């Protein structure tokens, strides 16, 4: 099995896994703490409209999905905050609309979309250099943003009302964060797919929350658990010849169960 570590495509997959673990570890910790997992799920499926549009226009679907995802995220936030439409209803509308638009554009595109299954179920082993560049830029941007505004983000994640009393620009940071969540989701779609990407933003963080309630520690533990599950999933995928995206999520759930059982025993 260990000869796989000598293959260039696996080295690229490991680098991608590390970058994805950092991005998802940071952003996912905010998502779990803020309790906006459902919103993230809506953004994930709404971004499928951008993938269909990318196929139709003949450009990189990740670019159009990023634009579509950010617009959907801002739209969900704006409609739910400024109208009488409930948040869960708004999410459902954008969720369904994005999926519908994606399917329409894919069927309007001449020929066959050979990479469509990759976007639905992911395949980290086929990650391209362009995708790695997008993920690298996003990772650096997320690190810088959270490093500079860590205190403000912490206030907003736990208590928005208190953050407003401290003169924190809550609305601006909220919209920026939801856009970052959307970008993180879209760029990581190639790794585990639309159907499973939300798991990367929640399972390692849920595992970390078993061991700590400190936000900073949760981020670091989430990154570690995410990377371990990614490498474990890749090895399982190679050994059993099964899809890598599902294997990564399976490994993540196994780690969650092991940590949960360990914590229960220690109690």
pLDDT given at position 123: 76
Angstrom CA distances, 66 to 88, 146, 181, 220, 263, stand at 22, 20, 11, 26, 38
118/206: higher pLDDT: 206
pLDDT-based confidence at 186, cuts 50/70/90? confident
Closest-CA residue to 127 (of 249, 242, 9): 9
pLDDT band at 251 (very low <50, low <70, confident <90, very high): very high
Higher local confidence (pLDDT), 182 or 128: 182
Token pair for residue 215?
């936000």
Flag whether pLDDT at 114 surpasses 70: no
pLDDT for the residue 159: 84
Instruction: Give the integer Cα–Cα distance in Å for 12 and 33.
Output: 31
pLDDT at residue 2 greater than cutoff 80? no
Task: Round to whole Å and give the CA distance between 213 and 217.
Answer: 8
pTM score: 0.87
**How far is Cα of residue 210 from the mean position of the Cα atoms in its chain?**
20
pLDDT in tens, 53-102: 988 888 888 889 889 889 998 888 888 878 888 877 888 888 899 999 98
Per-residue model confidence as pLDDT tens digits over 119-168: 777 778 778 788 888 889 999 999 999 999 999 998 888 888 888 888 88
How far apart (Å, rounded) are the C-alpha atoms in residues 2 and 46?
39
Which domains are assigned to the chain?
2-266 (1.10.3470.10)
Mean confidence (pLDDT) of the chain: 86
pLDDT at 113: 65
Query: In this structure, what token pair is assigned to residue 201?
Result: 């933003």
Structure confidence by residue, pLDDT tens digits, 13-54 = 888 889 999 999 999 999 988 888 888 888 888 888 888 898
What is the C-alpha to C-alpha distance for residues 195 and 45, in angstroms, rounded to an integer? 8
The pLDDT of residue 250 is above 80: yes
Rounded to an integer, what distance in angstroms lies between the CA atom of residue 155 and that of residue 30? 11
């Amino acid at each position: 099995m260990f000869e796989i570590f000598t293959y260039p495509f696996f080295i690229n997959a490991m680098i991608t896994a590390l970058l994805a673990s950092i991005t998802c570890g940071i952003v996912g910790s905010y998502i779990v703490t803020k309790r906006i997992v459902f919103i993230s799920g809506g953004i994930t499926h709404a971004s499928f409209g951008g993938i269909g549009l990318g196929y139709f226009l003949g450009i990189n679907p990740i670019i159009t999905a990023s634009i579509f995802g950010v617009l959907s995220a801002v739209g969900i936030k704006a409609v739910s905050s400024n109208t009488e439409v409930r948040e869960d209803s708004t999410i459902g509308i954008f969720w369904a609309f994005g999926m519908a638009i994606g399917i329409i554009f894919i069927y309007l595109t001449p020929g066959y979309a050979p990479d469509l299954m990759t976007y639905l179920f992911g395949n980290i082993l086929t990650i391209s250099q362009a995708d790695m560049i997008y993920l690298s830029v996003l990772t650096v941007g997320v690190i810088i943003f959270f490093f500079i505004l860590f205190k403000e983000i912490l206030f907003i994640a736990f208590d928005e009302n208190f953050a407003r009393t401290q003169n924190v620009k809550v609305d601006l940071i909220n919209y920026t964060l939801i856009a970052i969540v959307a970008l993180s989701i879209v760029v990581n779609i190639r790794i585990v797919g639309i159907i499973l990407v939300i798991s990367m933003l929640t399972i390692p963080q849920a595992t970390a929350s078993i061991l700590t309630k400190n936000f900073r520690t949760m981020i670091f533990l989430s990154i570690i658990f995410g990377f371990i599950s990614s490498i474990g999933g890749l090895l399982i995928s190679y050994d059993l010849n099964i899809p890598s995206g599902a294997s990564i999520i399976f490994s993540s759930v196994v780690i969650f169960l092991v940590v949960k059982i360990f914590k229960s025993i220690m109690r």
